[in-house]
A and B are shown apart, each in its own frame.
Chain A
């Protein structure tokens, strides 16, 4: 499709519904393991199977996780919060209802999240609600006529985060695929920082179902929206929305009507298509869950949770910028809490963030990437990087050698001092020793030396290289330069 969205005279309005599986050890309403995977139906008990007579008992940790997330998303926390039953029939729904939070008393309401748009301006996206519910089982279609159900996911705590479709004054909406992707990236980062979700989109522990409509730019009316499913990467969020926005604009321009429906993103063909089996307008018959008492939060308890909130990625990025790092560097360093923590520890140890940031951004991240590892399994401790940089500062090793040393540190976890000493790679800063090599090189390269003497400054580089070669790269380059110039009477 050829439509250029920006030039089309239309704008999109995108609402985001995100489900995040919480990283609790046990399920929402029983003590079964909430871990991903496992042989089908091995992580089930009467409660998560909804067997007759079983009763739910709410997982306090899950409730706390949602409170923390809601706080981090700038929400107001409802002092009293209820669970509801959402009633519908589906084979993977063992009780015939899902325990969820409906109505105006979810755990968190009226929050916001900041994202950066394509042109670098900051938008404050309103969040309508953050609530807790349980996951359902999973249907496995073993043959065209038979299906099997795996209930390992049944009862896993899910947090739902919904943006405000009609934002309050002072708040914005998501209008482009780029912003939608920014939103989900920001959100994911926050959840990872809080340690409440592992953020794995491919495994479905972070799922996003955007709905999108288009309208003439500047209009206040909303168009008919469609809902997109099956988006399991940042890329598919972006591509899926781009496609769907173009499709809707095309449809309207060609005199058609956008149908209110749920559409599936076809990753392979990069198109959206209506879900098979048209979904009926559901009647969920919500009512307060009588098997669970309302949750009441004490002020002191909320204060405690608020105090325990970690610094969030955006705050942290801004603090790093204030340390003198570039915006891009600060963004990369704060993309993952563990990396930011590692960096900060090393920077504190060393006393100056800049050189440490350079090492982390170039060498450390490169090596981690190469090894396909996370910072968690990194053998180098932050203090070891600090001492490596100090070895450069005091002239013990050159920056070039340091890179090799760092690679060995990364492989073995040994101290830089030990590595340098064992390999005899210490920098030669002894004037006498370097001078003898310098004289030897001048003697062996009379013509070049003559060129330099004759004012051909550039040729000195060749001689420096020769000296470095002779010393196995260990000569202090500053001294080599100085001595060469003195000997040749140049500069």
Chain B
């Protein structure tokens, strides 16, 4: 039995095993919970285990598998701890949310539960999803399963580590500036940021509303398509959610890039991208070329502004989104306050970590009356220019290919005192969020024994072309089969 389970690499393989009756969902779930327990001391990927919820869902599946036709029914998973799971503490890895249990499920979480998904726990993250290494959690530092002295990336580092280490078969992350793709790249798995609006943000604790998007972290492209099938779709509770129908994303899984034009935007290969990383991605491009795609080098002149624009807009929205943590209704309330204003100030001072405070300060400043035009408004204008860069690029190309991160995973603590270096880890992913387009990261090589990720971007709501390119690459290579030796 144990060996059976160890041979299961992906969620779709787990599904086949469940459907054939070779294993039960309960055994599979128990095995995952055991693996989580065994690896947790070295990885610290989880903030909470939801054993009861998981075992109940598994038992419901076992009792009547026919009632759960979805391929991911009965398959163990995890969600980042900034999404609401009813009755389970939602911390966002922050002290300020201490003790808060959401009375409702996030829409994406609800959709998984409705289809018989098995949620084993909530994963660690950088506090309020602000960070690129998962070192910024108020509770623990998550480690990269490939080398536990390195970071798993961030902010969905817990989800990425859990999937890469085989603790669960898939996990949900959230991506505001690369928080799914960058850790997927560091951990050698697949991570997708869908088009803005594809997945409801209802129940995702907001960091920057105009950039946040929920997406899957999986072991391969097929699994990513399966998770997208579940979580995508209109939600009347989120007015920014796309009202149109979602396709069956597994239909895009064909090895066919004949006639597809793949763009290599030169600016993404500058910006401090390590040569060996750039090379791995360029070799990736050649794989697609061999499969029939046309490769074209292009230029996107405004991409260089993405990082500064992001670090105005995201903190501005965050400063407003995080104002609700004031100690009045839930979470941490300071005991030492003299009046209500003092209570707000002390609760926030005690509850938020340094990175969060810094971004709140930056955002508050950028939105204040005297500076709004110079910072926030200007940033929005540049964001529009950047979007035009993408529009132009997609007139010539069907997908764009870039590195996901300029480097492989760095060492724990290495960039902790150098905020600028830290933020450069997202330099290739941030433009995607500003433009609202979909992008995916998948493994395309190893550098110093650590995975390197390749990013594929596509037109808005054209996840299918993106998945097709990714699947073609994956089927032509072996990188997705590499597993960390943990």
Q: Interface residues, chain A, CB within 8 Å of chain B?
A: 46, 49-58, 85, 87, 89, 91, 94-97, 147, 149, 283, 285-287, 290-293
Q: B324 touching A52 by the CB < 8 A rule? A: yes
Q: Given A96, A147, A287, A292, which contacts B324 in the complex, CB threshold below 8 Å?
A: A96
Of the A-B pairs whose beta carbons lie under 8 Å apart in the complex, a sample of 11, sorted by A's number, is A50-B324, A51-B104, A52-B84, A58-B239, A87-B323, A91-B326, A95-B324, A149-B329, A287-B367, A290-B210, A290-B240
Instruction: Name the A residues within 8 Å of B225 (CB-CB).
Output: none
Q: Does B1 contact A (CB under 8 A)?
A: no
Q: A46 touching B104 by the CB < 8 A rule? A: yes
Known: A55-B201, A283-B369, A287-B316. A89 touches B83 (CB 8 A): no
Q: Given B84, B317, B326, B330, which contacts A53 in the complex, CB threshold below 8 Å?
A: B84
Known: A95-B323, A96-B324, A287-B320. A51 touches B239 (CB 8 A): no
Q: Given B83, B317, B323, which contacts A96 in the complex, CB threshold below 8 Å?
A: B323
Q: B102 touching A89 by the CB < 8 A rule? A: no
Instruction: Name the A residues within 8 Å of B326 (CB-CB).
Output: 89, 91, 96
Alpha-carbon separation in the docked complex, A478 to B72 (Å) = 96
Of A52, A55, A89, most buried by chain B (CB within 10 Å of CB) is A52
Known: A46-B103, A87-B320. A53 touches B83 (CB 8 A): yes
Q: B367 touching A87 by the CB < 8 A rule? A: yes
Q: Given A52, A95, A149, A291, which contacts B90 in the complex, CB threshold below 8 Å?
A: A52
Alpha-carbon separation in the docked complex, A49 to B104 (Å) = 13
| Contacts A51-B330, A55-B201, A293-B240 known; 6 new A-B pairs at CB < 8 A | A53-B83, A53-B202, A87-B320, A285-B320, A290-B210, A291-B239
Contact with A along B301-325 (1 / 0, CB 8 A): 0000000000000001101101111
Alpha-carbon separation in the docked complex, A292 to B240 (Å) = 6
A130 to chain B, nearest CB (A): 22
Of B103, B316, B323, B340, most buried by chain A (CB within 10 Å of CB) is B323
Instruction: Name the B residues within 8 Å of A54 (CB-CB).
Output: 202-203
B87 to chain A, nearest CB (A): 14
Q: Given B97, B237, B340, B344, which contacts A52 in the complex, CB threshold below 8 Å?
A: B97
Alpha-carbon separation in the docked complex, A229 to B100 (Å) = 37
Q: A94 touching B324 by the CB < 8 A rule? A: yes
Instruction: Name the B residues within 8 Å of A85 (CB-CB).
Output: 320
Instruction: Name the B residues within 8 Å of A283 (CB-CB).
Output: 368-369
Q: Does B10 contact A (CB under 8 A)?
A: no
Instruction: Name the B residues within 8 Å of A89 (CB-CB).
Output: 323, 326, 341, 344
Q: Given A91, A97, A287, which contacts B328 in the complex, CB threshold below 8 Å?
A: A91
Instruction: Name the A residues within 8 Å of B202 (CB-CB).
Output: 53-55
Q: Does B204 contact A (CB under 8 A)?
A: yes
Q: Which residue of B is nearest A46, CB measured?
A: B104
Q: A49 touching B368 by the CB < 8 A rule? A: no
Instruction: Name the B residues within 8 Å of A97 (CB-CB).
Output: 320, 323
B130 to chain A, nearest CB (A): 15
Known: A46-B103, A95-B324, A290-B317. A53 touches B239 (CB 8 A): no
Q: Interface residues, chain B, CB within 8 Å of chain A?
A: 83-84, 90, 92, 97, 100, 102-104, 106, 201-206, 208-210, 236-240, 316-317, 319-320, 322-326, 328-330, 340-341, 344, 364, 367-369, 372, 376
Known: A290-B210, A293-B239. A53 touches B320 (CB 8 A): no
Determine the main DSSP class of B at the interface with A.
loop
Q: A287 touching B83 by the CB < 8 A rule? A: no
Instruction: Name the A residues within 8 Å of B317 (CB-CB).
Output: 287, 290
Instruction: Name the A residues within 8 Å of B330 (CB-CB).
Output: 51
Alpha-carbon separation in the docked complex, A310 to B238 (Å) = 34
Instruction: Name the A residues within 8 Å of B368 (CB-CB).
Output: 283, 285
Q: Given A56, A95, A96, A286, which contacts B239 in the complex, CB threshold below 8 Å?
A: A56
Instruction: Name the A residues within 8 Å of B325 (CB-CB).
Output: 96
Q: B100 touching A52 by the CB < 8 A rule? A: yes
Q: B329 touching A49 by the CB < 8 A rule? A: yes
Of A85, A283, A291, A292, most buried by chain B (CB within 10 Å of CB) is A291
A-B pairs, top 7 by smallest CB distance, nearest first, are A96-B323, A290-B209, A285-B367, A290-B210, A53-B203, A52-B205, A96-B324
Instruction: Name the A residues within 8 Å of B209 (CB-CB).
Output: 290-291
B328 to chain A, nearest CB (A): 5
Q: Given A46, A49, A55, A87, which contacts B238 in the complex, CB threshold below 8 Å?
A: A55
A29 to chain B, nearest CB (A): 9
Q: B237 touching A57 by the CB < 8 A rule? A: yes
Instruction: Name the B residues within 8 Å of A51 (CB-CB).
Output: 102-104, 330
Q: B84 touching A55 by the CB < 8 A rule? A: no
Alpha-carbon separation in the docked complex, A147 to B100 (Å) = 21
Instruction: Name the A residues within 8 Å of B92 (CB-CB).
Output: 52
Alpha-carbon separation in the docked complex, A180 to B204 (Å) = 47
Q: B240 touching A287 by the CB < 8 A rule? A: no
Alpha-carbon separation in the docked complex, A89 to B209 (Å) = 20
Alpha-carbon separation in the docked complex, A285 to B317 (Å) = 11
Known: A283-B368, A283-B369, A290-B209. A53 touches B106 (CB 8 A): yes
Q: Which residue of B is nearest A29, CB measured?
A: B239
Known: A283-B369, A291-B239. A147 touches B340 (CB 8 A): yes
Alpha-carbon separation in the docked complex, A41 to B90 (Å) = 23
Alpha-carbon separation in the docked complex, A85 to B320 (Å) = 8
Known: A89-B344, A91-B340, A293-B239. A52 touches B102 (CB 8 A): yes
Q: A57 touching B344 by the CB < 8 A rule? A: no
Q: Which residue of A is nearest B345, CB measured?
A: A89
Q: A55 touching B102 by the CB < 8 A rule? A: no
Alpha-carbon separation in the docked complex, A291 to B239 (Å) = 7
Alpha-carbon separation in the docked complex, A54 to B239 (Å) = 11
Q: A285 touching B364 by the CB < 8 A rule? A: yes
B103 to chain A, nearest CB (A): 7
Q: B328 touching A149 by the CB < 8 A rule? A: yes
Q: Which residue of B is nearest A96, CB measured?
A: B323
Known: A46-B104, A53-B102. A94 touches B204 (CB 8 A): no
Of A50, A85, A87, A89, most buried by chain B (CB within 10 Å of CB) is A89
Alpha-carbon separation in the docked complex, A178 to B39 (Å) = 78
B207 to chain A, nearest CB (A): 11
Q: A57 touching B239 by the CB < 8 A rule? A: yes
